[in-house]
Amino acid sequence: MSGAELPIAVVSFFFQAFAGCVQGYELIADACRLEKDAEHLLVKFKIEEHRLLNWGKLVQLDYTEEQLVLNHMSRGMIMDILDQQRKLLASFGRLDKRYGKLRKPLLQEQTEIFVIDSDRLLVNGSSISEHSNQAVQFPAAEELVKKALNWLNKSRDVPKRIRWAAWDHEKMEALIVKLSDYNDKMHDALDRAQMDTLLEMQTRTNYQIVLLNRQMENMIQIWQSEHIAHRPQGMITDLEDSDYDFLNGIAGPSTRSLTQPLGALAQQKFVHLAIEDSQYVSEERGESIGLPHLANSIRQTEISLTDIYSIYDEPFPDEIEEGERTDATYKGAAVWIEWKPNEVAGPGMPDGLVDPKIRSRVQKLAALLKQNNRKVRFRAPHCLGYFVDESEDRESRFGLVFEKPPTVPRTTSPTTLRALIEESSMEGSKFDIPSLTDRITLMRLLAETVERLHAVDWLHKGLRSANILFFLKYSEAGDGGFEVNYADPYISGFDYSRPATSDDMTERPTDNAWADIYRHPTVQSTGNREEPGGTGRESYKKSFDLYSLGIVLLEIAYWKTIDQILNINLDTARPKQTWPVMDRLLTREPQHLKFVKSYLGNTVEEVVRACLVGPEAFGLPRDCDEKLGSVAAMLQNEFGERVVRRLGGMKGL
Question: What is the rounded average pLDDT of the residues 14-18?
Answer: 92
Question: What is the rounded average pLDDT of the residues 368-375?
Answer: 83
User: Dihedral sign, CA of 583, 586, 587, 591?
Assistant: positive
Q: Is the pLDDT of residue 126 over 60?
A: no
CA dist., res. 622 & res. 630, Å (int):
15
Per-residue pLDDT at 124 = 53
**E strand map for 196-289:** none
Per-residue pLDDT at 184 = 92
Q: Is the pLDDT of residue 455 over 50?
A: yes
* DSSP states of 16-27: HHHHHHHHHHHH
Amino acid at 584: R
Question: What is the rounded average pLDDT of the residues 469-480?
Answer: 77
Tell the CATH topology of 301-413. Answer: Phosphorylase Kinase; domain 1 (3.30.200)
Q: Is the pLDDT of residue 562 over 60?
A: yes
Q: Is the pLDDT of residue 151 over 90?
A: no
Q: Is the pLDDT of residue 561 over 60?
A: yes
Strand partners, 328: 310, 335
Question: What is the rounded average pLDDT of the residues 428-444?
Answer: 90
Percent of the chain with pLDDT over 70: 81
Per-residue pLDDT at 219 = 93
Residue among 145, 126, 5, 179 at smallest CA distance from 62: 145
In the structure, how many helices (H) and strands (E) does the chain have?
A: 22, 12
Q: Is the pLDDT of residue 166 over 80?
A: yes
Percent of the chain with pLDDT over 90: 45
SS3 of 531-562: CCCCCCCCCCCHHHHHHHHHHHHHHHHHCCCH
Q: Is the pLDDT of residue 500 over 70?
A: no
Task: For residue 581, name the pLDDT band (cuts at 50, 70, 90).
Answer: very high
**E strand map for 247-369:** 308-310, 325-330, 333-341
Domain locations in the chain? 3-287, 301-413, 418-653
Task: For residue 535, name the pLDDT band (cuts at 50, 70, 90).
Answer: very low
Per-residue pLDDT at 277 = 76
Question: What is the rounded average pLDDT of the residues 630-651?
Answer: 92
Q: List all residues 6 or more positions away from 455 whose beta carbon is below 8 Å from its beta carbon.
A: 206, 207, 210, 211, 260, 265, 636
Pick from 166-175, 261-270, 492-501: least confident:
492-501
3-state secondary structure of 397: strand
Per-residue pLDDT at 510 = 57
Question: What is the rounded average pLDDT of the residues 281-291?
Answer: 87
Question: What is the rounded average pLDDT of the residues 357-372?
Answer: 87
Strand partners, 508: none
607 vs 144, which has greater pLDDT?
Answer: 607
CA dist., res. 499 & res. 222, Å (int):
19
Per-residue pLDDT at 100 = 76
Q: Is the pLDDT of residue 548 over 90?
A: yes
CA dist., res. 202 & res. 181, Å (int):
16
Q: What is the pLDDT of residues 96-124, one digit of tens each?
A: 767 678 888 888 887 777 666 665 555 55
Length of the chain: 653
Cβ(226)–Cβ(213) under 8 Å?
no
Per-residue pLDDT at 250 = 31
Question: What is the rounded average pLDDT of the residues 54-82?
Answer: 89
Per-residue pLDDT at 405 = 87
The chain-wide mean pLDDT, for the chain, equals 82
Per-residue pLDDT at 125 = 46
Selection from 199-213, 426-440, 606-620 with the highest mean pLDDT: 606-620
Question: What is the rounded average pLDDT of the residues 232-244?
Answer: 34
Question: What is the rounded average pLDDT of the residues 440-456?
Answer: 96
Q: What is the pLDDT of residues 196-232, one digit of tens each?
A: 999 999 999 999 999 999 889 999 999 999 887 654 4
Question: What is the rounded average pLDDT of the residues 11-33?
Answer: 88
Q: List all residues 6 or more positions away from 358 whose beta carbon is below 8 Å from its beta carbon.
A: 342, 343, 346
CA dist., res. 469 & res. 560, Å (int):
16
CB atoms within 10 A of CB 66: 8
Q: Is the pLDDT of residue 443 over 80?
A: yes
Q: Is the pLDDT of residue 156 over 50?
A: yes
Phi, psi of 622 (to 5 degrees): -60, -35
Question: What is the rounded average pLDDT of the residues 509-515?
Answer: 77
Q: Is the pLDDT of residue 356 over 60?
A: yes
Per-residue pLDDT at 506 = 47
- The domain 418-653: what is its CATH number? 1.10.510.10
Pick from 343-352, 373-382, 554-563: least confident:
343-352
Strand partners, 302: 386
